[in-house]
Structure formats: C-alpha cells, structure tokens
Amino acid sequence: MPKFNKALKLSHTVSKILKIFNFEATSFPGKIVQKFYPSFLKECNRYIKHPRFAITGTNGKTTTSGLLSEILRQSGLYIINNKLGANMPNGIVTSISEGLYSKMKDSKLIEANGCVLECDEAYFSVITNKFNFDYLVITNLFRDQLDRYGEMDIARKKIIKGIELNPDMKIILNADDPVLCEISEHFNYNEDKFIYYGITNVEYIDYEKTSKSPSENIYCTKCNERISYNKRYYAQLGDWYCLCGNKRHNLDISANVIVYPDKNVLDINYKGEKYTFKTDLTGLYNAYNALSAISSALAAGINKDNIEKALDNYRPVFGRHQKIKLKGNRDLTIHLIKNPVGASEVLRGLKGLKNSRMVISINDNYADGKDVSWLWDADFEALKDFQNVIYTTGTRSYDAALRLKHAGFNPILLEVGDNTNKVATAIENSIEELNDNENLTILVTYTGLLDINKNMKKLIRKYGED
Ligand SMILES: [Zn+2]
C-alpha cells in the first residue's frame, strides 16, 4: 500500500480508537498523521481535484462552508469539508484524511472532486504554504475582545501572507466590512483577483430592528479618519465611506435582504441577472453567511437550481442554530457563542423568546479563548425580560450568572451550576424538568459544543422524537 494510503489508514484507526473511549476525534488523528508523514498536506494536492475553497474570517466560517459544500454536493461532486469546525492544521488534516479514507476501496484511493475548508485566520498561511486553493472567501474580521488592540490588524496581515503563498487564488470578499478593505488594497495591482459581495438593503419583518452588537469606530486605511456609513447593518458592516473618497468597493454580487423570524429572503443581482433565494437560517448574520456561500457558488459557475435546492436541503449542524426534535412536541436548539458580535446577533434573535428554558454554558479552555471578558461586551441585556429558567454551567458558570444578573435578568429564575465542564449533563437534567410543549435553548462556547456533540447520539436515543 502506498505511504499516503497508510497515513489515511493510520488517521482512521486513531480516530476509531478515540471514539471507542468517547474522546474527541476532530484534531488528534491529524496530529499523528503529520508527525509520521510531514508531507501529507502537500501530497493532498494530488488527490483533491477542483474547485478548492478556503473560508476564513472571524464569524460565519462553519455555516458558510457547510452551505457551500451542500451546494457543490448538489451539483454531484464529492466534497471534503471540515464540517465540525476544527479549522486549525491538525483539524483540517483530520477532515481531509477521513474524507479521503472513506473513498478508499480495496486500499485504492479514489480522488475527491473538491474541498471546502474553513481555516482559522491565524493558521491560514500554514495551510496555503502546503496546499493550493482556487478561491478564498473572507467573511469579516471582528475583535474577540474589545480591549485587545491590534488583533484585527494581526489577523489581516496573516491572511495577506496566506494569499501571497497561493498567487493564483481568487478572493471572494465581503465588501461591507471596511476592515477587509486593506487586503484588497494590498493586491491592488490585480483587480481581477477580487470578487466583492455585499448587502444593498435590509428589511425586517417581525424581527428586532436594532442591532446591539458592539459597534466600535473603524478608521480609514487611507487617511486615518473615522469611517462613515450610508447604512450600517451591525458591528462595522454596512455601506461605508470616508470623506477622503475611500468607500465600499462596487459590488459584483449584491443582495437585498428581508429578515423574517423563521427565514431570510435574498434578492441577488449578479452580472445583470436577478435571482431570489430563501434560507431557513435566521438572523442577518446568517443572511451574510448565505450570501457568501451563494457568491462563491456563482463565482465558480454553479447553476442557480443547484444553489436553490441546496439552500432548501441544508440543515444547520453543530451548534449553528441546530434544532433537534424531542418527544412531547419539544425542541432543543443549540447556538454557539464565542465573541461579542456573534453572541449579540444570536441574542438579538432570542429577544422576546417564549415557552423555552435556557442553558448557558461558558468554558474558558484554550479553544474557547482563556479570557471571558467578552461576556461583558455581548448584549445579554436582550435576556432581561426572559420569563423562564436560565441554568448556567461550564468552567465559567459563575461569570455567566453574574453577567445575567448585571443585565437585569430576574435572579429568582437563575439556577447557577458548579464551575464544571459538563454541559451535556446540564442539558439532560434540563430536559428532565421540561414540561410538554416547552422548548430548551442552549447557548454554548466551542468546547462545550464538542461535549454536546460527543453525547448527542445518547441524548437523541433517550429524548429524541421517534
Ligand atoms: Zn479616508
């Protein structure tokens, strides 16, 4: 058996063993593979065909890449995708080897038709140093902590470095984010390199109109004056301009968005053609995710019908508004929260939520970010008038409880769990206490989500709708 195939087998075996002992297997197999076969990622260039997409940015990577993978699969392609959001090199190698291994027949390797890989901004150049992409999608850059000065600048520089390593790559860029503008300016000798998408208008129907996401001041990369807006949608995203003449780039792909409580409708304009798409993913942040996936597909020449079908079929996985039906006509909905902007936009969608209990699980493990001060920048005030029980858990359960109390949430309805890591147990206990027709909403940070995922089969077996 060729050495490359042996590496795939090794990864699969490690993954299987980890799963038997109920350990998380999203990154460790990739670590082992790279240790024994350092040129693995380089070799992958031979076994993964095109199109190859990389997705980076602070928020929306997992949903954008999930949607885009679904669109490409709808077109009949076998696509490799790190769908569980493990987006650092070991996680990416794990996903690729699992994806290729499942295509191996009698020790013979069958190639994948393409890939959609979300990459952590900080490690993007580590990947492009070994693997070549056709397209890079950049969603946005937000700060994880408002007091962490220079964070976005560092991320931007790392993305630029990654782009330089793949000189033929096309960039699909969210023009509504003025922070990303510097990336296209850096490559201004090649205008064809960029495809710009953005939103021209947003209308809300029965949805909270005002965003409470932290909207810090952004300064023009050309003259250092403060950026102004014709329209500002949330955080620093919008139709922006500067008095010096710098402004949002002309849009190649533009959308009018209507945000409903249970769906988004996007009217898209591309090369003079008009398309209407609908998605069950809710909230304006998800309209941006849908728009970035649609823009990528259109740029790669995928036809409208396949995009439409994929948007219809796509079911959010792994904590991105993921919904599970429980016995007794009850829903369990899981939302990942990890930084002030993302959390505020999720909370905005939960404002006025009725007939649901809530579990909020905050961990401070390495993959969550050790510093939880972002809780104070996120709009937990949206839960001020929430009229049901909120149970806090996670290694920072007490911080979550303190934040809710400070936000004005009724302390009588607050149940504070120990500072432990057992979110799946907290969910199980909460389901036991639910009344019929009463739902459960989970807000959880990344490592808590891994814990839920590990225990999901057990939860569904016990409580899932038949
Ligand atoms: Zn300016």
Q: Is residue 391 part of a domain?
A: yes
- Give the pLDDT mean for 155-164: 96
Distance (angstroms) between ligand 1 centre and the Cα of 146 equals 23
Q: Is residue 94 part of a domain?
A: no
Q: Are residues 251 and 126 in the same domain?
A: yes
Give the pLDDT score at 147.
Answer: 66
Q: Is residue 155 part of a domain?
A: yes
Q: Are residues 248 and 336 in the same domain?
A: no
Nearest to 65 by CA among 81, 52, 44, 48: 81
Distance (angstroms) between ligand 1 centre and the Cα of 269 equals 28
Cα 199 to the center of its chain, rounded Å: 19
Distance (angstroms) between ligand 1 centre and the Cα of 244 equals 4
Omega within 30 of 0 (cis) for the link into 214: no
Distance (angstroms) between ligand 1 centre and the Cα of 254 equals 23
Q: Is residue 58 part of a domain?
A: yes
Distance (angstroms) between ligand 1 centre and the Cα of 140 equals 20
pLDDT band of 32, cuts 50, 70, 90: very high
Domain's final residue, options 313, 333, 357 = 313
Residues 60-107 have pLDDT tens digits of 999 999 999 999 999 999 999 998 888 999 999 999 999 999 988 877
Q: Are residues 43 and 178 in the same domain?
A: yes
Lowest mean pLDDT among 127-136, 277-286, 314-323: 314-323
- Greater model confidence, 109 or 291: 291
Residues 314-328 have pLDDT tens digits of 988 777 778 899 998
Distance (angstroms) between ligand 1 centre and the Cα of 199 equals 21
Q: Are residues 122 and 216 in the same domain?
A: yes
Give the pLDDT score at 363.
Answer: 96
End-to-end Cα spacing for the chain: 44
Distance (angstroms) between ligand 1 centre and the Cα of 230 equals 15
pLDDT reading at 1 higher than 80: no
Distance (angstroms) between ligand 1 centre and the Cα of 336 equals 36
Give the strands of the sheet with 414-416, arranged side by side. 320-326, 330-336, 439-444, 356-361, 390-393, 414-416
Q: Are residues 151 and 266 in the same domain?
A: yes
**pLDDT over 90 for what percent of the chain?**
82
Give the whole-angstrom CA distance, residue 187 versus residue 194. 9
Domain's final residue, options 313, 340, 369 = 313
Q: Are residues 300 and 176 in the same domain?
A: yes
What single-letter amino acid sits at 284?
L
Q: Are residues 287 and 373 in the same domain?
A: no
Give the whole-angstrom CA distance, residue 377 versus residue 235. 12
Residue 429: CATH number of its domain: 3.90.190.20
Distance (angstroms) between ligand 1 centre and the Cα of 184 equals 15
Distance (angstroms) between ligand 1 centre and the Cα of 192 equals 24
Distance (angstroms) between ligand 1 centre and the Cα of 181 equals 12
Domain's final residue, options 313, 344, 366 = 313
Please state, rounded to an integer, the average pLDDT across all residues of the chain: 93
- Both tokens of residue 394? 């996670």
What Rg do the C-alpha atoms of the chain give, in angstroms? 22
Residues spanned by the domain of 379: 320-463
Q: Are residues 295 and 147 in the same domain?
A: yes
Q: Are residues 235 and 372 in the same domain?
A: no
Buried b (16+ CB within 10 A) or exposed e, 332-359: bbbbbbbbbbbbbbbbbbbbebeebbbb
pLDDT reading at 34 higher than 70: yes
- Give the burial class of 215: count Cβ atoms within 10 A of its Cβ; 0-12 exposed, 13-18 middle, 19 or more buried: middle
Q: Is residue 226 part of a domain?
A: yes
Pairing of strands 237-241, 228-234: antiparallel
- Give the pLDDT mean for 331-339: 94
Nearest to 348 by CA among 227, 443, 240: 443
Q: Are residues 159 and 217 in the same domain?
A: yes
In the chain, the number of structural domains is: 2
Q: Is residue 26 part of a domain?
A: no
Give the whole-angstrom CA distance, residue 353 versus residue 383. 9
Give the whole-angstrom CA distance, residue 285 versus residue 200. 15
Distance (angstroms) between ligand 1 centre and the Cα of 227 equals 7
Q: Is residue 30 part of a domain?
A: no
Q: Is residue 245 part of a domain?
A: yes
Residues 184-233 have pLDDT tens digits of 999 988 889 999 999 999 999 999 999 999 888 899 989 999 999 999 99
**pLDDT over 70 for what percent of the chain?**
99
What single-letter amino acid sits at 26?
T
Q: Are residues 144 and 167 in the same domain?
A: yes
Q: Are residues 283 and 347 in the same domain?
A: no
Residue 262: CATH number of its domain: 3.40.1190.10
